[in-house]
């Protein structure tokens, strides 16, 4: 041979970690990528649909803004009420009329204080997260629609790392049986 040519082939097969004598045959990398490409074609959406869906979600978000404001205002009122109850409880405990614990005992004070502090912390968490939840939801929706539009093309043109990331985003529990890839769609949360 004057000019030998080295060819490189990639095959995928069972790792035989659970079944040492797994009878499943191997599959070429090209065959596997073809099956993944076909799967991605099933979840692909058009740019036109993506644009329509995002526009609709933004309109829906805008129309519900008023309702969210009312909910946030109610949460703020509940938080202020909780703070007043904490202050009143402290005033009751430290009142000159409570020197002998006749108005509120130490046990009652501690129990009510713990309950109020838990309620206060829960309300603070709700208030902190109230506006951001909707924005996060809208951003996640936009990213998901973008992914559904571009995943197939990005997979076809991507390097091995990109392909792994796309496959990980699409699903989990990949099973190769009788040279057929099965992908369990993943939950993105």
> DSSP string covering 92-123, please?
HHH-GGGTTSSSS-HHHHHHHHHHHHHHHHHH
What are 10-45's pLDDT values in tens digits? 888 777 767 778 888 888 888 989 999 999 998 899
Q: Give the residue-averaged pLDDT of 146-151.
A: 91
* 1-5, 107-111, 172-176, range with greatest mean pLDDT: 107-111
- The per-residue pLDDT of the chain, averaged, comes to 86
How many residues would you count in the chain?
189
pLDDT value for 187: 60
Burial (CB < 10 A; 0-12, 13-18, 19+), residue 184, is: exposed
DSSP-derived 3-state class of residue 171: strand
What are 35-93's pLDDT values in tens digits? 999 999 988 999 999 999 999 988 888 777 777 778 888 889 999 999 999 999 999 88
- What's the number of CA atoms in the CB half-sphere (13 Å) around residue 23? 1
pLDDT value for 131: 63
């Amino acid at each position: 041979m004057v000019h030998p040519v080295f060819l490189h082939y990639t095959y995928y097969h069972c790792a035989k970690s659970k079944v040492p004598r797994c009878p499943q045959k191997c599959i070429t990398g090209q065959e596997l990528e073809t099956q993944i490409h076909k799967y991605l074609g099933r979840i692909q959406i058009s740019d036109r649909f993506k644009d329509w869906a995002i526009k609709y979600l933004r309109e829906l978000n805008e129309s519900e803004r008023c309702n969210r404001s009312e909910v946030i205002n109610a949460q703020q009122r509940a938080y202020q009420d909780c703070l007043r109850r904490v202050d009143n409880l402290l005033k009751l405990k430290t009142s000159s009329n409570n020197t002998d614990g006749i108005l509120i005992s130490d046990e009652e004070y501690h129990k009510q204080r713990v309950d109020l502090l838990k309620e206060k912390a829960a309300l603070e968490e709700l208030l902190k997260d109230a506006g951001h939840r909707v924005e996060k939801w809208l951003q996640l929706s936009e990213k998901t629609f973008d992914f559904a539009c571009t995943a197939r093309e990005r997979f076809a043109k991507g390097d091995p790392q990109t392909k792994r990331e796309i496959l990980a985003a699409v699903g989990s529990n990949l099973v190769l049986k009788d040279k057929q890839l099965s992908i369990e769609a993943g939950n993105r949360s």
